[in-house]
Chain A
Amino acid sequence: MSIQIPIAEGLFSWPAAKPALLASRCKRCGIAAFPVASSCMACSWQDVEIEELPTRGTLWTWTVQQFMPKKPYRSDETHETFTPYGVGYLELPGGVRVEGRLTENDPEKLYIGMQMDVVFEPFRTEDNGDEVINFFFRPVQ
């Protein structure tokens, strides 16, 4: 029986009723980092706490990846089935700007400043049938 597994442990809360990206926040300077790090990139402090990031934010910048990347890219696609995908930085208020794939790949529908939700969806299927879950940014519907 197939199950859903996160693409990496500790990247987001999973399984969870309301999954969210996980960040570490420095207890000295208050800076948040994604993914969770054991020390603070701003001040080198090693005492950090883990928190969930907001699930809605503002698109800070974006592009569309128009050709299929070489390894280490690992999806189910072939060169024939590859679909261009959007990539952007989403500014999560009070947290950080996180880089992620967008569910939208039409440049006409993407603009800096648009509101987007963080969603968690299947990215690829493993040989044993397990679905690998990744986070995506989706225009607010």
Chain B
Amino acid sequence: MDVAIVGIGIHPFGRTPARTGLQQGAYAARLALQDAGVEWRDIQFAFGGSASAGSADALVNELGLTGIPFINVANGCATGGSSLISAYNAIKSGQYDIGMVTGFDKHDRGAFNADPKELGIGEWYGEVGMMMTTQFFAMKIQKYMHDYSISHDTLAKVAEKAFINGSKNPNAWRTEPITVDEIINSIMVNNPLTKFMFCSPAEGGVALILCRADHAKRYTDAPVYLKGATMKSRRFGSFEVFAPSQALQQVDGPTVDASKAAFEMAGVDPKDMAVLQLQDTEVGAEIMHMAENGFCEDGEQEALIQQGATHIGGSMPVNTDGGCLANGEPIGASGLRQVYENVLQLRGQAGGHQVPGDPKLAYTHVYGAPGISAVTILQR
């Protein structure tokens, strides 16, 4: 039994002072229901997540009390991916015919401040100033630039492309293009990464309606099938965020593992993918994730990005909706935003940010603390 996505809804990302995170989630949920042509009472189960905007299952207060099982999911940046996999399995098992996956969030301004205790790390680690995701990303790309000759200009070009794509996406937060010069010369945050090379915590909500594939045409003329959905945590020896030490022998990280498993599950290859959404909490992540997900060899990103391959219209469009860089990162909603974008792309409804060539397969990838990754492969 395949699983199809038959309804999608989004609340614009960025800052919406007039709505709580929960209300943004409800807004997205109602749009998704409408898109599938169903009512809330038709939904048999839901999985949802929110890191800072209350319990996802409180959505029933907004949408109606129908008695369905609504399971809260908390997996950091992979929350949306984990919810989606859970829903996929719930339908695949034959237990349910139709359900909802949702994620929403509303964070304070400024960098996320994590609590070492929650991750089983000593308090000293935070006290001395190492409990910072931004440091990890900076150190990972610093090493990668050294090993594979990636230039600072290429770092900036990733951000430039994100803001160009954001300017074409009415639901994005950052909608003004920013030049490479402005990006390179903005305030240094963690060398080699400047302010405009990082995404910021933000707000937003996304909801998806999933059903068993043989029912899909009841709800839509353009179902999109979830051909692969995987989630992996780190193995011993991978280089991860919030690690007071790491092994001398390095192994592949959870992104490589989740990606390989997803391609195997879907029975397709990286070269088959027409559009890619890759976790870009900062520009270095996007660059390294291109290789970790199997779309190029280490070091090839320099030429690919300089040639414009990752732009809409390029040979491997990446983060066509502007990614985290232009949308900000509401943790609970971020992974589902990627799926929303890919459904739009596969339906041919992405408007100004539509990739040409009638795409048939699309890929999403998220990465988060303390070393988890989730991947989806969607097919029209």
Q: Which residues of the other chain, B, contact A35 by a CB distance below 8 angstroms?
A: 122, 244-245
A50 close to B (CB within 8 Å): no
A54 to B128, CA, bound (A): 21
B113 close to A (CB within 8 Å): yes
Q: Which residues of the other chain, B, contact A41 by a CB distance below 8 angstroms?
A: 236
Q: Could you tell me if A33 and B245 are in contact, using CB atoms closer than 8 angstroms? A: yes
Q: Could you tell me if B122 and A69 are in contact, using CB atoms closer than 8 angstroms? A: no
Q: Could you tell me if A65 and B139 are in contact, using CB atoms closer than 8 angstroms? A: no
Q: Which residues of the other chain, A, contact B247 by a CB distance below 8 angstroms?
A: 31, 42, 96-97
B313 close to A (CB within 8 Å): no
A116 close to B (CB within 8 Å): no
Q: Nearest-CB distance from A134 to chain B (Å)?
A: 6
* B116 CB contact (under 8 Å) in A7, A69, A72, A101: A72
Q: Could you tell me if A67 and B189 are in contact, using CB atoms closer than 8 angstroms? A: yes
Q: Could you tell me if A72 and B113 are in contact, using CB atoms closer than 8 angstroms? A: yes
Q: Nearest-CB distance from A15 to chain B (Å)?
A: 17
Known: A42-B236, A71-B113. A101 touches B244 (CB 8 A): no
Interface size range on A against B: 35 or more
Known: A96-B245, A96-B248. A112 touches B146 (CB 8 A): yes
Q: Could you tell me if A75 and B135 are in contact, using CB atoms closer than 8 angstroms? A: no
Output the nearest chain B residue to A98 by Cβ-Cβ distance.
B245
A137 close to B (CB within 8 Å): no
Q: Which residues of the other chain, A, contact B243 by a CB distance below 8 angstroms?
A: 99
Q: Which residues of the other chain, A, contact B237 by a CB distance below 8 angstroms?
A: 42
Known: A42-B247, A66-B190, A99-B245. A73 touches B135 (CB 8 A): no
Tell me the A97-128 residues at the B interface (CB within 8 Å).
Answer: 97-101, 107, 112, 123
A88 to B246, CA, bound (A): 12
Q: Could you tell me if A7 and B187 are in contact, using CB atoms closer than 8 angstroms? A: no
A14 close to B (CB within 8 Å): no
Q: Could you tell me if B124 and A11 are in contact, using CB atoms closer than 8 angstroms? A: yes
A112 to B139, CA, bound (A): 10
Q: Which residues of the other chain, A, contact B132 by a CB distance below 8 angstroms?
A: 65, 69
Q: Which residues of the other chain, B, contact A42 by a CB distance below 8 angstroms?
A: 236-237, 247
Q: Which residues of the other chain, B, contact A73 by a CB distance below 8 angstroms?
A: 126-129, 131
0/1 string, B221-257, CB within 8 A of A gives 1: 0000000000000001100000111111000000000
Q: Which residues of the other chain, B, contact A13 by a CB distance below 8 angstroms?
A: none
Q: Which residues of the other chain, B, contact A17 by a CB distance below 8 angstroms?
A: none
Q: Nearest-CB distance from B238 to chain A (Å)?
A: 11
B20 close to A (CB within 8 Å): no
Known: A72-B115, A89-B246, A99-B244. A66 touches B189 (CB 8 A): yes
Q: Nearest-CB distance from A86 to chain B (Å)?
A: 9
B274 close to A (CB within 8 Å): no
B191 close to A (CB within 8 Å): yes
Q: Which residues of the other chain, B, contact A89 by a CB distance below 8 angstroms?
A: 139, 246
* A74 CB contact (under 8 Å) in B122, B127, B236: B127
Q: Which 7 A-B pairs have the closest CB atoms?
A: A72-B126, A63-B138, A61-B143, A34-B245, A8-B124, A74-B127, A42-B236
**Residues in B lying within 8 Å of A, measured CB to CB:** 110-111, 113, 115-116, 122-124, 126-132, 135, 138-140, 142-143, 146, 187-192, 236-237, 243-248
Sample of 9 more A-B contacts, CB < 8 Å, known A72-B116, A134-B128: A63-B135, A64-B191, A66-B190, A67-B189, A70-B110, A89-B139, A98-B244, A99-B246, A112-B146
